[in-house]
Structure 1
Amino acid sequence: MKPLKRIGISYSETNFQNYWSWFTPGELGSDVELLELSFERGNTADIYKCDGFVLTGGIDVLPSIFGGAAKYPYMPDSFLPERDEFERQIYEFSQDQKLPVLGICRGMQYINILEGGKVFEDNGEEAHLVHKKAAEDKIHTVNIRPETLLYSTTGIEQAEVNSAHHQAVDPRYLGNNLMASAYSGTKDGIIEALEFEDKADKAFMLAVQWHPERMKSKSSNPLSQKVKEAFLKAVRAT
């Protein structure tokens, strides 16, 4: 019998169940299980039981962590520094132990911050027409750079993704050893995916700005299904 692998999913105050149910029983099989890693429950010990991690979307990261402005458009009424600290521990453990990580939306932005980079506090009203969530997620194209992990994972150079964010990675301040592997197909050119530039001695890491867990066509869109399959394969290989 194969040893049991565990995927830790960081708790989000918004739509957490979508991340959980994205992994179907058939995909998990009998050898992979999910663990909720919750800053509210403070189950730090469970971090060290995991073989891979999903850093989820949600509220803005506390701007003082990356030297951001104290006030900006669409900032939340209050932040969650407890969540920021909890997820910092998750990410640092993943890198210390060379474990796979999948970052989604806020998760991608926070990986950039934790690697010493910055995000735009707010993308601006023009970008909001394309990216910021309204009644439903917006839809736009992304362009994927060849010779990247994202391209080898998905096998495509362009596809449609959903979009629901008012912040984005600042390309002037990419984190240590990070590279952009996809950009928005619209004129704003927002960074849509990150991965390690030098992958030597690194585990699988993909971070995406879209929400693969709640795409309407997630089972057929490679930018959801193929990304998930690659992450699961990496977890099983740990």
Structure 2
Amino acid sequence: MKSVIKIGVTYTGSDEKHSNYVHWLKGNDAIEITTLSTLDSDLDAIKGFDGIVLSGGVDMHPEYYKNDVINYPNAPLHFDKKRDEFEMAVFKSTQQYQLPLLGVCRGMQLINCVLGGTLTQDIGATANAIHRFEEHDKAHGIHIVKGTLLSEITGVDRTITNSAHHQCIDVLGEGLTINCGSDDGIIEGVEWT
């Protein structure tokens, strides 16, 4: 009997973008995707999942990384503090139940902030020309740090990554290590130390 892999994915805030996550993750009928959102999710049910993905989306509210500036370059018109709080609770549940967790873009930044790290609110015009979404996602090269889990999984030193962000990790959260970065020095991935 074939077992089903259950993955929970937090809602991005956009049906179109969220459907991309579902499409990317659903490789076959052995994978069941459940959308996790502030509207209808039971955090106790997370213990029944095989893994969680914290998706990308709108910037976190700056108060969650101890910054009181809310009018910064490329700041969103509206923050979603309910989503921030919900995803922080999802993160804590993954730790409680020892579940695999993948944070994509905003998700990675949220993990970093929950662990005491900070963000650069906007990477600036030069870096935004390489990294920031403008009508479509961009792509750029990254180098992968030797000795990391990402290096072990990929078996390569360099590759290309999708890019659609204007913020980045500044101070690294407790227990994290950098596993890849862009040529212009921006942290593009982290993992547990």
TM-score strictly above 0.5: yes
Which whole-Å CA distance do the structure 1 matches of 2:163 and 2:144 have between them? 16
Report the number of matched residues. 190
* Aligned residue type for 1:194: V
* Aligned residue type for 2:92: E
Shift of 1:25: 4.3
- Identical-pair percentage: 38
**Counterpart in 2 of 1:184?**
182
TM-score by length of 2: 0.92
Which whole-Å CA distance do the structure 1 matches of 2:27 and 2:4 have between them? 14
Shift of 1:135: 1.8
**Counterpart in 2 of 1:215?**
none
TM-score by length of 1: 0.76
Equivalent residues in 2 for 1:92-107, closer than 5 Å: 92-107=92-107
Write out per-residue CA displacement over residues 67-91 of structure 1, whole angstroms, 9 at most, x where no aligned residue: 1223211111111111011111111
Shift of 1:2: 5.3
Evaluate the alpha carbon distance shift between residue 124 and residue 25 of structure 1 in structure 2; reply closer, same or farther with a 3 A threshold. Answer: closer
Shift of 1:45: 4.2
Contact 1:37 1:47 in 2 (8 A): no
Residue aligned with 1:74, SS: coil
**Counterpart in 2 of 1:48?**
47
Residue aligned with 1:87, SS: helix
Contact 1:138 1:164 in 2 (8 A): yes
**Runs of 5+ in structure 1 lacking a partner?**
198-238
Segments ≥4 residues shifted beyond 2 Å: 1-5, 23-26, 40-49
Equivalent residues in 2 for 1:20-59, closer than 5 Å: 20-26=22-28, 28-29=29-30, 32-59=31-58
Write out per-residue CA displacement over residues 23-73 of structure 1, whole angstroms, 9 at most, x where no aligned residue: 2342x52xx311111113344343333221000000000101111223211
Contact 1:169 1:191 in 2 (8 A): yes
Contact 1:109 1:169 in 2 (8 A): yes
Which whole-Å CA distance do the structure 2 matches of 1:176 and 1:54 have between them? 20
**Counterpart in 1 of 2:128?**
128
**RMSD of aligned C-alpha atoms?**
1.5
Shift of 1:166: 0.6
